[in-house]
Structure 1
């Protein structure tokens, strides 16, 4: 009878076999600096005894609905993981936002590494996971990442600057901003990019023209209605994303404003929705698929014990000019 293939040894298996803690085994497996040589050797011998056959399993966490933005990233990650000969364990859905997932990852049976999409946890929770030696990569971090936590994102500042430069070039100076939450890394970077474009033409940012909240269609509609109701309303609206911009289009239509003749509106992301509106949205294209592929590449290199020269990767965005922007009316 042919010999059956051995089950892949997990971190928990190695910890049980050596009497070491799961965190210590994780640090040894990932070449953490603070592991004694005899401990590394103990772990290596246990791995040799237990065997290491089987494919790598990557835990993919996306605690949001898999529509548009998040769905594209998840699809890219899953497809790329499969091309590398590994498998994905997907954990998705908003219900998971409150679950204490990260502390349990280092000891989770059969899980070798993780990709975390816009993790809602605090920075210290991610730092604790890093200190455990468990390999992971963050896509689109919500807060600034420490230097030694690998992260992939779009160039938020440059993308926002490009779309505001476009509006400034059309003569707009009074521009309303439908911003994301101020405590989001992307929200701060995009607002800074917008401010930079205005500064180039000598315009100071006006806090009265900024509204901030979770960037949904409902928020875009509500915030745009407030801004358009000002005594001196903006001539253009910059949406944090395409959904907020769609809400702004609805608010403009309710006031009888023509886009772009009376009001210019822009988005960010370039999801399918941006081409389904009337008029079609001018927006900033994020490389969502490439973000997913890049994150898998970084994680695979970590799992293979390679050194990473670039831990924080920002991928270039692209301004896509369509029908929702035009010259300011005088």
Structure 2
């Protein structure tokens, strides 16, 4: 089909029939010299014309604020480079073996994988096949030779704990993400280190590890806020979990931040729309997307990435959901 399409394109460009183009390409003698030259020149132009690159972007999640910002940044940066985007998004993509077939797709030149659910050995196999790709926000620690871009999760979490400690909080509960996630482990380590520096240990009854959704955040917060004594602050894995925590506090007749301070992570648009506005950690989501494209373009041009594992700085954004005790 590709060959027939090419024949039609050349025929349309030169003003001759598809049959004549075919006779020229098959070196038939009954073609006028001028027509033969015309067709061969058109063929040569097509051979020399640059092939537009296509990059496969896989985000096997709903394109909410968090993932949507990353994908939008990737799309805009690819467009600046004149690269075509092939997007595979939505939770159904989690159940497809998308990576195995990539090296055999001639019309896909590289990939950007956002929080890939695949195990590290599958990423290693893709790299060994010579297929260029970059991981954004890796779920597990990326293998040494695989390029990745993420936020400085541990540093962001330390900033949150330091902020609460400076306000006088010592009884701080943590609603963490899944224990097998790199971001969850790094943020929890950041919280623990800051608390330990202040002489505070995070006890197991003050810790919940959950799927980071509003509903799960509300459920976990109801458990934590029912403890006696009640924690004076709750640190949440992301802004959606923080919203669930604020809902739980309200349902128990507690005020934020008068009775309990609440902190999120990500700084999506939702964090400014809460009542009160949410103290959170801003992740450089758009920068993560654009840098991933820059790294991939270097690889497509035959160069090594400037750095294999890039961590971008986070920023603590203090709003009205935290207060001194």
Pairwise same-fold verdict (TM > 0.5): yes
TM-score range normalised by the length of the shorter chain:
0.7 to 0.9
Q: Distance in 2 between matches of 1:323 and 1:312?
A: 35
State the Cα distance separating 1:50 from its structure 2 match. 6.5
Where do residues 144-183 of structure 1 align in structure 2 (5 Å cutoff)? Answer: 144-183=141-180
Q: Distance in 1 between matches of 2:169 and 2:204?
A: 17
Q: Distance in 2 between matches of 1:65 and 1:129?
A: 25
SS at 1:249 equivalent: helix
State the Cα distance separating 1:308 from its structure 2 match. 2.3
SS at 2:113 equivalent: strand
Q: Distance in 2 between matches of 1:238 and 1:246?
A: 11
Confirm or deny: 8 A CA contact 2:158 2:193 kept in the other structure.
yes
Where do residues 112-123 of structure 1 align in structure 2 (5 Å cutoff)? Answer: 112-123=109-120
**Is 1:254 matched with 2:227?**
no
SS at 1:103 equivalent: coil
* Alignment equivalent of 2:296, drawn from 296, 299, 324: 299
Q: Distance in 2 between matches of 1:83 and 1:65?
A: 25
Larger gyration radius, structure 1 or structure 2: 2
State the Cα distance separating 1:309 from its structure 2 match. 3.6
Deviations 1:279-311 (A, max 9, x none): 000000000000000000000000001122410
Deviations 1:229-277 (A, max 9, x none): 1122210000100000000000000111111111000000000000000
TM-score (norm. length: structure 2): 0.85
SS at 2:101 equivalent: helix
Q: Distance in 2 between matches of 1:86 and 1:216?
A: 34
Cα 1:50–1:239, aligned 2, differ >3 Å: closer, same or farther?
Answer: same
Q: Distance in 2 between matches of 1:188 and 1:310?
A: 23
**Is 1:218 matched with 2:215?**
yes
**Is 1:209 matched with 2:206?**
yes
Confirm or deny: 8 A CA contact 2:295 2:306 kept in the other structure.
no
Residue matched to 2:313: 316
Q: Distance in 2 between matches of 1:228 and 1:200?
A: 25
SS at 1:289 equivalent: helix
Q: Distance in 1 between matches of 2:58 and 2:101?
A: 13
Q: Distance in 2 between matches of 1:85 and 1:200?
A: 50
Q: Distance in 2 between matches of 1:98 and 1:125?
A: 14
State the Cα distance separating 1:51 from its structure 2 match. 5.9
What is the Cα-based RMSD across aligned positions, in Å? 1.6
Q: Distance in 2 between matches of 1:179 and 1:296?
A: 30
Cα 1:4–1:214, aligned 2, differ >3 Å: closer, same or farther?
Answer: farther
* Alignment equivalent of 1:135, drawn from 110, 128, 132: 132
Residue matched to 2:34: none
**Is 1:63 matched with 2:60?**
yes
TM-score (norm. length: structure 1): 0.84
Q: Distance in 2 between matches of 1:296 and 1:231?
A: 50
Q: Distance in 2 between matches of 1:2 and 1:311?
A: 47
